[in-house]
Structure 1
């Protein structure tokens, strides 16, 4: 008899719906902020400064955000974070509508919005792990990836329509999406998962970094994300330069850029089945290899549509890697470290990504576009080969993973006050557990 399909549950869908609305609004504001900065100042440099401020906010807040996600109630953090985003955007909407907006205000707003989004990311990650059963995590994470991909398509379209009327409408609409997310967060349970004990901030951050670094699987995952973010951030420059060189024009740039989002949507649809059916290490390695082959194809094709197809195939591998890696990361990380490990991984993967466009431009100028893309593809091939052998070299007995899962269950049901009282007595035991967890990740990867 066929078993009924398990459901993700009301709490997950509340969280998903609120953050989906916010994601579309944010994607629109990311377009509007530099455009308004250029309109107000008449200087293209201010547009670049505004985008840079957004990126700096994301990077600056990522590690502290993990500490907050592990220490405080997730509903409270979601409420406060989304309310802060609504306040910033509401203020921007009023300033723009009255003509009082200043480039400096846009810089501050961009930095704050980047920090808010970066703070909410690990909080949502921990909440998903709390609300969703372990065997349903790939499906939940694939939905989150599809949401992000669709937001990248819908958000810019919304921005384009509203910007024709008044940029204030973009900021006002985004403020409403943050309020929607806050309302959804309000309906979540007050206590979503365990909260941690107070630690000095630097020690708390270091603990998450240390756990990630001790795990061969997570360490490779962070390296994989770092390299791929660097490569994909530089691809837009390559697309623009290629279309200009071949005389394809701005329409070709738009078509090929749209394929980034289309490929991500396609990848999110197959990510959950891949995560269920393939060992984690092999799934990441194969998806990375697909990206490498597609990049090689992009370097050799000459037609606009052929290049667009190669870009779509390349970007389809990203959601697969993210879902597989995030599922494993959630399963092998103790509950008290979920936020910090997620933040550490995100920080490492984003830290050098802003260099992608600069390196792509410099490489294209010095060696040519084809050689630059081919070199990037070769680097991704090396990344795929490394991933294929990483977990196999570190395989250990399965009882280490079973011990870790038992500790996770005990931590998840342990009262917060009792956990605080016992923290100093159990720290050595937890440290030993975390030292074993790096190798136990390989067991899960080999099991699939």
Structure 2
């Protein structure tokens, strides 16, 4: 009876906790471990570079190299997700990352670690990360009932925020125990992920037709064409691109501004933690929030609130209190992300999901990757108030798009909201 009940969808009379779905629970918990390990090693990489006589520039270059790799390979990764077996792809990535971080840990323990080795391992890990991401995202819709896919993505949002909060502290502690410890912990987290994915019973994709005659370039082009032909996805990208830039830039600007105003390091760390807590609380509440508003209504409310709160934060520039409006502004972001990926998973053909996810993610975040540099330049040349004003202006552009673009107001989208919300 329990096994059968676990396959029953969400209805008003029958509700099963999401983690009671065995295969989704395996995937979710394995990626919670994996993301915690990644968040711990992210902090340890620059510390390791500095410890082997690298410069601050070289320490920062590790993250830059990884970011460039992720941006360049995002579209090919989506195409390969749709071309290859998702389970095999995810297992291969986990096996590869386990081997990479064990290699790095052993090199540290034996005194054979070098800067070229650190850069090679971090770069290879980034390649495997970007291959794994679309496959894991696309697999979600196969593991839970259609009407609960958005809720599943809300759970993923909470998982990500929790890992980003706990990971750096854990990484710092492990590094103090031994330089190899954070990387060996990360290797263990990928091993846990490998074992858990192996134990998943359900298929992670629909059956595939033979795609041997199509090239990778034509596959990518097909994904781009699908997104370009969707008024809804075009509208989402127009809204998301400037608001993602604004959020990233605002978070970076707050830290730089407080530093310029001579706030001590522990308060700078506290500011980052407070901002992250807003996202975590929003992620925990995301499933509840989604059930109470259509996607467009939720999007307009979230962007409008962020626009108003960033104005308040800009007026408080230089004061520690500028942190709190930004924290509130982040509260609704996880619900938006979960609703968007839930809609992508339930309305995009399975054989296109990897490519569509990659196109949307890249389009919505590529400009945001320049935000730290842009914020630094604005603060250096024009001052902190100007940097925050740019954030407000970018959010205003997103708000105009959310209010005016027809792709978010179509009858088809309203009908889908009604069906998915039943």
Answer yes or no: same fold by TM over 0.5: yes
1:53 equivalent to 2:65? Answer yes
Shift of 1:304: 5.5
Structure 1 runs, 4 residues or longer, greater than 4 Å off: 302-305, 440-443, 445-448
Q: Which moved more, 1:201-210 or 1:347-356?
A: 347-356
Partners of 1:128 and 1:60 lie apart in 2 by 25
Partners of 1:144 and 1:255 lie apart in 2 by 24
> Is residue 261–residue 318 contact of structure 2 (8 Å, CA) maintained in 1?
no
1:265-313 residue CA offsets vs partner (Å, 9 max, x unmatched): 1111222223222121221121122222222222122686522322211
1:383 equivalent to 2:391? Answer no
Task: Give the match for residue 275 of structure 1.
Answer: 290
* SS of structure 2 residue aligned to 1:41: coil
What are the equivalent positions in structure 2 for 1:84-123 lying under 5 Å apart? 84-123=96-135
What are the equivalent positions in structure 2 for 1:122-271 lying under 5 Å apart? 122-189=134-201, 191-194=203-206, 195-198=208-211, 199-271=214-286
Partners of 2:224 and 2:53 lie apart in 1 by 41
Shift of 1:44: 0.7
Shift of 1:259: 1.9
Task: Give the match for residue 314 of structure 2.
Answer: 299
Q: Which moved more, 1:260-269 or 1:188-197?
A: 188-197
* SS of structure 2 residue aligned to 1:277: coil
Instruction: Name the structure with the higher helix share.
Output: 1
1:378-402 residue CA offsets vs partner (Å, 9 max, x unmatched): 2202202311332467625xxxxxx
Task: Give the match for residue 372 of structure 1.
Answer: 387
Partners of 1:140 and 1:3 lie apart in 2 by 20
* SS of structure 2 residue aligned to 1:100: coil
* SS of structure 2 residue aligned to 1:85: helix
1:5 equivalent to 2:30? Answer no
> Is residue 31–residue 193 contact of structure 2 (8 Å, CA) maintained in 1?
yes
> Is residue 231–residue 407 contact of structure 2 (8 Å, CA) maintained in 1?
no
What TM-score comes out, normalization by structure 1 length?
Answer: 0.85
Q: Output the aligned Cα RMSD.
A: 2.1
Partners of 1:183 and 1:111 lie apart in 2 by 24
What are the equivalent positions in structure 2 for 1:422-433 lying under 5 Å apart? none
> Is residue 311–residue 392 contact of structure 2 (8 Å, CA) maintained in 1?
yes
> Is residue 85–residue 116 contact of structure 1 (8 Å, CA) maintained in 2?
yes
Shift of 1:77: 1.5
1:186-231 residue CA offsets vs partner (Å, 9 max, x unmatched): 0113632213531210111111111112112212222333323323
What are the equivalent positions in structure 2 for 1:53-72 lying under 5 Å apart? 53-72=65-84
Task: Give the match for residue 356 of structure 1.
Answer: 371
Partners of 1:362 and 1:303 lie apart in 2 by 17
What TM-score comes out, normalization by structure 2 length?
Answer: 0.90
Structure 2 stretches lacking a partner, 5+ long: 1-10
Shift of 1:235: 3.1
1:122-159 residue CA offsets vs partner (Å, 9 max, x unmatched): 11111101111121112111100000000001110110
1:161-180 residue CA offsets vs partner (Å, 9 max, x unmatched): 01112220000000000000
Question: How many matched pairs?
Answer: 405
Partners of 2:215 and 2:147 lie apart in 1 by 34
Pair 228,31 (structure 1): closer, same or farther in 2 beyond 3 Å:
farther
1:293-351 residue CA offsets vs partner (Å, 9 max, x unmatched): 22222212268652232221122232122112111212221111111100111122232
Pair 442,217 (structure 1): closer, same or farther in 2 beyond 3 Å:
farther
Task: Give the match for residue 34 of structure 2.
Answer: 22
1:17-37 residue CA offsets vs partner (Å, 9 max, x unmatched): 111100000011111112211
Shift of 1:372: 1.7
> Is residue 22–residue 181 contact of structure 1 (8 Å, CA) maintained in 2?
yes
Task: Give the match for residue 416 of structure 2.
Answer: 444
> Is residue 90–residue 175 contact of structure 1 (8 Å, CA) maintained in 2?
yes
Partners of 1:214 and 1:127 lie apart in 2 by 24
Partners of 2:136 and 2:104 lie apart in 1 by 26
What are the equivalent positions in structure 2 for 1:407-426 lying under 5 Å apart? none
> Is residue 150–residue 287 contact of structure 2 (8 Å, CA) maintained in 1?
yes
Partners of 2:14 and 2:318 lie apart in 1 by 47
Pair 302,233 (structure 1): closer, same or farther in 2 beyond 3 Å:
closer
> Is residue 93–residue 128 contact of structure 2 (8 Å, CA) maintained in 1?
yes
Indicate which of 85, 93, 103 corresponds to 1:81.
93
* SS of structure 1 residue aligned to 2:163: helix
